[in-house]
Each structure stands twice: as structure tokens, then as C-alpha cells.
Amino acid sequence: MTLPASGSPHGAPVRRVVRDSWDRATRRRLDPDGLPVLELPEDDLDDWRLDHPLASALSVIRRLRVDDAEGSGLLVAVGDERGRLLWVEGDSTARRQAESMLFVAGAGWSEARVGTSAPGTALVLDHGVQIRGEEHWNHRVQAWSCTAVPIHDPADGHVIGVLDITGDERAAGSQTLPLVAATVAAVEAHLALLRWAADGDARALTPTRASLRPRRPVRAPATPTATGPTTAAADAVGAVSPDRTPALARLSVLGRDDAVLAVGGRRVVLSARHSEIMLLLAHRSEGYGAADLADAVYGDVDAVTTLRPEMVRLRHVIEAVDPSLVPLSRPYRSPRPIGLDLDEQAALVGRGAHRAAVRGDRGPALPSSTAPGVVELREETRAALRDAVLVSGSAETLVAFADAPTGHDDERVLRELLRRLAPHSPRRPGVVTRLETLERRRLDDAR
């Protein structure tokens, strides 16, 4: 496809940004009738998505741009820094139509792959771009228009992705670029807030107004208004309000077969399998490799193919509660700390606060779980509490532990308690009865 130096194939004037992009496509000898390539395999797409830093900001994009897209004929796409589409959402009819040009999640839409397009060209130029109809290099895309703005890491300013609106001519209208830019500002502010929460650096909580704007100028006039910024821009400012710090999260597993995740006043009861995974991730902040987590959950390092779809289901559950808690991968880990009642109990034991540890004992962690990693963690924690009470706990603490769920049927604990009790203690008959019950059970099991 050879284009005239001063115009389109139909003789219309060509904008400089488009002409330069066409020149790059010509030098690369790109086929104007070719299709993009699926660069991210479908079976790994969820891992690629959730590994990406923009996964934690997807809820912001959906709230500002996607939620009202159905029936609009518009698509909202999020790509990574290499132009590979990670999410394509919006109007369902438009999504089906866009499949014919492979504008789908996993496809590579960099300028080096498909020539002139808003997402690819915006990444090359590192500023907002609008491409209309026949300005596209690829013939298959010339029925569409699009607007895209790059997204930057708030820490060092490098490009981490791109936000794109694709559809009919409205997708490249005069108001679209400022709205997409405002959404990107909200995303960058959200990422800055999460970074502050993770690092504990309060100084990062108050970005200047300049830091809320895109890092490169958007080549379109801002939307004039007599009353203030657009709704999206206002939301961008609100996204860094000190009142919107991530809520503390807590996972309760003691004495429960199904863990409870509580965050910001919301509460969800997890399935048994999801409880096991979340317990392991909450306990080990550095996370697990895929094979290690498969071994800890299923007892089989080769069960990675079973683990992956389970992680996808778990991420959907957690995203509905708090997107900032969605587990990451490579390695599998929690993106921010989760308070764990099991760890709190262990910390009390470590500090010698045995009575407080016993008082908070509600039973073993996920008692019905047979996941090797959970069994090991459960037994380690139980043994630490039991040994601490037996070795250095007071008589009153030993009595309390014998009455608590974890120590109630522990023969060694009961015999030690019987040894310490005074000969005429009213508690002795009850302890003797419990020991006799345990002995009968053992005999029954041996038959």
C-alpha cells in the first residue's frame, strides 16, 4: 500500500501524525490486509492480565468508562505497554463485530504489528491520539474510529499500558479525548494510592494537580465548562482523597471449614478450596510458584493445570469484594497484606502471651482441609500453642486450654492438667471422664 505524500488514497488532506505513522508502516512493509496476531495464548491470558499492574485499576476504568457502554456501540480496551490487548469490554454488538478484525483480548495491536491505530500509535508517541476511519493503515479497520491515551506508572513515569475507545465516529469525537485522558488520570491516581498504601509512605498520598494530568500533553482542547472539571476528571481527583485509603482486610480460618474474608464492612464466605488458597497466600507474603502452590493445595506439583482455573474463579470472587486484593501470579501472592487470625494467634504465642492466645482459640485452622500446605501450617500452629502452654503456661492457662477447642481432646494436655490439679479439685472428675472417653475411642478405632 503506497500512499501519496500529501494525502489519503482518496486525495483528502492527511494529518501529520497519520502521515508519519503511515511512513513507519511502509518502512516495515506491513500488510494492509493482514490480521493481528494473538500474542497472548488463551490458556495463559488470565495470568497475564492479573500479573499486570493495571489489573488493580480495572474497577476504576469500568466505573468511569465501561458501565454505561452497553448499547452505545463503543468498546473500551486496555492494552499493555507492548500494545497487546488485555481487556476488551463494552457494547456486546460492537464486540462481536470487532472480532472480524481480531480486536480481542490477547491480540497484538502495536503499531509495529498493524500499522496506524489509536492504541498502537499512542504508545509510539507517548501521548493521546485519535485515528478516524481511513486514517487506519489496515483496510479491515477503516470502518472504525478510535481514541487512545497511554497510562504511566506513577512512581517513575514509564508507560505501562494504554486505554482505548473504539467504535463509530463518536469514538474519535471532540469530547472523547479529554474524557479518556481524565480516566487515565484517575487510573494513575488510583495506582499512586495503592503504591502509598503498600509502601506506607504518607507523603505519596497527596499528589499535586499537575501529577493528576497525563504526563504528556493531550493534543486536543480541554472540554470547556463553567462549573468545573468533567465528571471523570473530578473522579480522578477524588481517587486520591485521604478518605479512600484501602480498607484493612482480615481472613478468619480458626475453627472454620470455610474462611471468612472481611474488608471495609464487606464480608464473604469462601468455598473450602478458595479458603485453602487464601490462607496460604495470606500467611506467606512472598507467595508461591505455580508448582509449589499446586503441591501445597493438591499434594501434586503437576496439578498446575487444575490450580490455574481455580485461581481464575478465586480472582473473580475476590474482585467482587475488593479489587485491590485480587491475587497476583508469578509468583502467586497477595498484592497487599491480609490480617490472618492464625498468624495473630501465633504472634501471641511468640510474645509469651499464652493466656491471650488461648482466649482467642476457636479451634484448628480449616479443620476439614486435607491440603498438605494447610495441614502442615495447622499442625505447626497448634503444636506451638500446645507446647507453649505445657512448658511455660500457668495452671490457669492450662485449664483454659483444656477447655478450648484445640486442647479439648488432647490426651497429653489432659494428663498434664490432671497432674497439676489439687487432689480434691472439683475439676478432676471431669478430666478423668474425658480421658476415659478418649481411651474408649482409641480402642474402638483399633477394632
Confidence band for 199, pLDDT divided at 50, 70 and 90: low
| Distance, CA of 446 to CA of 198 (rounded, Å) | 53
Q: Is the pLDDT of residue 70 over 70?
A: yes
What gap in Å lies between CA 295 and CA 276, rounded to an integer?
12
Report the DSSP pairing between strands 339-340 and 249-252. Answer: parallel
Tens of pLDDT, residues 144-186: 999 999 999 887 678 899 999 999 999 999 889 999 999 999 9
Joined together, the cell numbers standing for residue 106 give 490477547
The topology (CATH level 3) of 16-244 is: Beta-Lactamase (3.30.450)
Report how far apart the first and last C-alpha atoms of the chain are (Å, whole number).
Answer: 86
pLDDT of residue 245: 55
Q: What digits encode the pLDDT tens for the residues 10-31?
A: 455 789 999 999 999 999 899 9
Residue 78 has pLDDT above 90, yes or no: yes
**Residue spans of beta strands (DSSP E) within 195-354:** 249-252, 260-263, 266-269, 339-340
User: For residue range 337-383, what is the model confidence (pLDDT) as tens digits?
Assistant: 999 999 888 888 888 888 788 877 788 899 999 999 999 999 898 88
pLDDT greater than 60 at residue 234: no
Average confidence score pLDDT of the chain: 82
320-325 contact pairs (CB < 8 A, 24+):
320/268, 321/261, 321/263, 321/266, 321/268, 322/246, 322/247, 322/249, 322/263, 322/264, 322/266, 323/55, 323/56, 323/58, 323/59, 324/56, 324/194, 324/197, 324/246, 325/249, 325/261, 325/263
Least confident residue range of 102-111, 123-132, 317-326, 392-401: 392-401
Instruction: Spell out the domain ranges in the chain.
Output: 16-244, 249-339, 351-446
**Which CATH code for domain 249-339?**
1.10.10.10
Angle ∠(243,326,363) on CA atoms, nearest 5: 95
Equal fold, 16-244 vs 249-339: no
Residues 201-229: tens digit of each pLDDT = 434 334 443 333 333 333 333 333 333 33
pTM of the predicted model, to two decimals? 0.48
- The answer for residues whose C-beta is within 8 angstroms of residue 123's C-beta and 6 or more apart is 79, 81, 82, 83, 110, 111, 150, 159, 162
| For range 417-432, the mean pLDDT | 82
The conformational region for residue 211 under phi > 0 = left, psi -120 to 50 = alpha, else beta, is alpha
Q: What is the pLDDT of residues 245-290, one digit of tens each?
A: 567 889 999 988 999 999 877 889 999 999 999 999 999 989 999 9
